[in-house]
Structure 1
């Protein structure tokens, strides 16, 4: 049940304020949304999912999370993307007492914890396995892009739902690739320079619907 809750777009953790970079991408030109979703699953989302999986393993092993946070930061070149992740991480920390009964026993988090680090911690305390942890991160990214597309473009919701279903195979591949990771140095560095450039430009514009 925790996995369903964490993957729910209505969860009040600022996810509704994000487009996963789709808004600046559309501002730069036409976007094939399913291809954009697939690109993210191969790159930045893979890094995020792996970070959450490794953070979960670190909590279960009683290891500090600072090294996981540092590994994530080193693999996230965009300052704007790091900042957004930390804002969402703070929102998840605030929500934690409501969703995880083991909240009082959680380990010490790094300063300004990134969203996947907090998600990994919640997964460990809430009893999610590694595959479910990765799946939550991947699915959340897919639905964030598609939900933003519905707000930013003239689009049939049925077509948008088809895009989500169409991403399931790539999402399953992501889960298979990262679910066995245990250590920070194993987190993949899958950069997407175009997405990162869009994020940096978007951070400095005042005419936008989404914060990122």
Structure 2
């Protein structure tokens, strides 16, 4: 895949579940978040969820490069840092889509063959790490892909939930560049699953729980 692989992973049109996922924006909007607060939400996600998931993806990518591929410790550490059951379920749903794509692109790669052994199902960062290894994506490129995906998922969902000028989404992402770079650097510095950042935002967790009980929603989380 060469240089195309990281671009593929960062493409918002990648059919692995983002069409049904708002990265927390829909629950936030239901709780009263307004369009002018989206940049603040992006900054908060970069400090919490995006950092943790980028670090977990890099750890899974490293695990995939071992002689005996074992994602168990990364999966367990990430589960422990995702306390809200709806968010764990959403991550597994997204992970299933990534796993399906990995099987399509590199069915015989050891990193992909090891995914079915993850129980109950691979969380999205674990599946992304396996896919990145199968496509030959480097650690920094992989971390940036995860962080960028977080930003573009929120801004894309905003076009449906809080309609406005589509060019705003470009400005929001560019405005978050320093935070994105910091998240990538922090993710790359994590060496073991025990060191995986345990950062979360209490409101995000509560909104996810409220969202699961909602009968009117566009996105699963």
| Same fold at TM > 0.5 | yes
Residue 54 of structure 1 aligns to a residue whose secondary structure is helix
Residue 106 of structure 1 aligns to a residue whose secondary structure is helix
Change (3 A) 1:169 1:101: farther
CA contact (8 A) 2:99 2:112 kept: no
Q: How many residues align?
A: 212
CA contact (8 A) 2:69 2:114 kept: no
Q: What root-mean-square deviation, in Å, do the aligned CA atoms of Structure 1 and Structure 2 show?
A: 1.5
Partners in 2 of 1:160 and 1:96 — Cα distance? 29
CA contact (8 A) 1:135 1:175 kept: yes
CA contact (8 A) 1:53 1:182 kept: no
Residue 151 of structure 1 aligns to a residue whose secondary structure is helix
Equivalent of 1:98, from 100, 104, 107?
104
Q: Output the TM-score relative to the length of structure 2.
A: 0.91
Equivalent of 2:126, from 114, 117, 139?
117
CA contact (8 A) 2:111 2:133 kept: no
CA contact (8 A) 1:24 1:198 kept: yes
Change (3 A) 1:102 1:127: farther
Partners in 1 of 2:97 and 2:170 — Cα distance? 27
The question of 1:9 aligning with 2:12 is answered yes
Show CA shifts across 1:54-100 (max 9, x none): 01111112341011100000011111100000001111111113334
Structure 2: unaligned runs, 5 residues or longer: none
CA contact (8 A) 2:111 2:130 kept: no
Equivalence for 2:41: 36
Offset at 1:125?
2.0
Partners in 2 of 1:68 and 1:176 — Cα distance? 19
Moved more, 91-100 or 140-149: 91-100
Partners in 2 of 1:154 and 1:102 — Cα distance? 43
Partners in 2 of 1:23 and 1:178 — Cα distance? 26
Partners in 2 of 1:105 and 1:210 — Cα distance? 30
Partners in 2 of 1:105 and 1:81 — Cα distance? 25
The question of 1:74 aligning with 2:96 is answered no
Q: Output the TM-score relative to the length of structure 1.
A: 0.95
Partners in 1 of 2:163 and 2:130 — Cα distance? 38
Show CA shifts across 1:80-138 (max 9, x none): 10000000111111111333475466342202100000101111221111111111110
CA contact (8 A) 2:98 2:131 kept: no
Equivalence for 1:21: 24
Residue 210 of structure 1 aligns to a residue whose secondary structure is coil
CA contact (8 A) 1:58 1:182 kept: no
Offset at 1:9?
1.1
Partners in 1 of 2:131 and 2:81 — Cα distance? 22
